[in-house]
Amino acid sequence: MTKEEKAKDFERYKKMVVVAALTNVLMEYWEPFSSEKFVRGSLKKKANMFFEQLEKTVQFPIERLYKTDEKLFVAIQNSVEFILETDIINIIKKSREYAELEENK
């Protein structure tokens, strides 16, 4: 595998880890609604199948990223935990702070 192919794979793994992280956030928010009456059985079944399939799909890229760049993996993991533990207003504030930091680089 060439250096360019490795770099392309690494970028793909990073994106897959982000997809997995966002899916975890979605699952956390979905869980309370999954038992509501308005969620029909077929929707619940499709959502569960989607989450299971996605989890299987991203398992290898997650392991690969962890082995390749543990710091990045931990940063993504910490970001997911932040999203799960906070509300939308704090997420917006942090996003603005980050954008300002990036502008000043």
Q: What is the pLDDT of residues 58-83, one digit of tens each?
A: 788 778 778 888 888 788 778 777 77
Q: What is the 3-state secondary structure (H, E, C) of 69-83?
A: CHHHHHHHHHHHHHH
Domain count across the chain: 1
Contact 42, 4 (CB under 8 A): no
Q: What is the pTM of this model?
A: 0.54
26 pLDDT tier (thresholds 50, 70, 90): confident
Between 3-30 and 41-68, two packed helices, what is the crossing angle to 10 degrees? 140
| Domain extent for 63 | 3-103
